[in-house]
Structure 1
Amino acid sequence: MQLIGHELVPYEPIFWRESARQIEAGKQNLFKFDEAAIKRAQELGAQFSVEAENLNEIIVANAAGAKFIVVPRELASKAAKLAQDYLFDAQICVVIESRNELAALSETGTDVAIFKNAVIGKDKR
């Protein structure tokens, strides 16, 4: 499992975007699943990640070129299985508060644990 935001592991910060206009090339952009935002990121050639709420959004985000797909913990196992079965290029991620959550998260097959502090501009759950 990859860790993003742990103090002992170097990482690139992820920037939360509320709208497609905020997306920037040269930064790792994260936004709620939104077709306009995905199109904007693609046009700019910007790296992007998507916060998805269901399997349909996960499938489209992967096909569209998302680097990370952030899912709610309760969807993590299904998302990880889907990604493994279909050999996704995107990585399935869950945002966590502390390292105490890592063991439980590892049982879901999630690719990446993103510590809350790694997401700049959004107070994550």
Structure 2
Amino acid sequence: MRIRSLLLILLLVLIGAFVALNWSVFLTNSAVSLGVATVQAPLGLLTLGLLLFVVAYFMVYVLYLQSTVMWDARRNAKELQANRELADKAEASRFTELRGVLEAGQQAVLARLDALEKNLRAPQ
């Protein structure tokens, strides 16, 4: 695991230990202002619930980001493979064309050599 993951796990364990040690305090009712009204509720439990909500939200967000990156990487790999195959085909066609040009040139050179040989053997 990465050091960040280990630190995050350690932090969550420390928070869990803190909550376990102070559970009775977390359940103590107190006056909680909601902006428009004041209610009697366990402030520690509300804070813990908000903390768990934020942690869950960020875990879902991280999973979303990782899946998006994986899909993009997979799509890019497919595009790269397609481009590589296209480049290989283009290179193969260039080699085929070059082979044709070389063979045509070879035949022209052989024909010219034959003509020169006939001129040399002909009586003057």
* Higher RCO structure, 1 or 2 (CA under 8 Å, sep 6+): 1
Q: Which structure is higher in helix share? A: 2
TM-score of the two chains, using structure 1 as the length reference: 0.18
TM-score of the two chains, using structure 2 as the length reference: 0.18
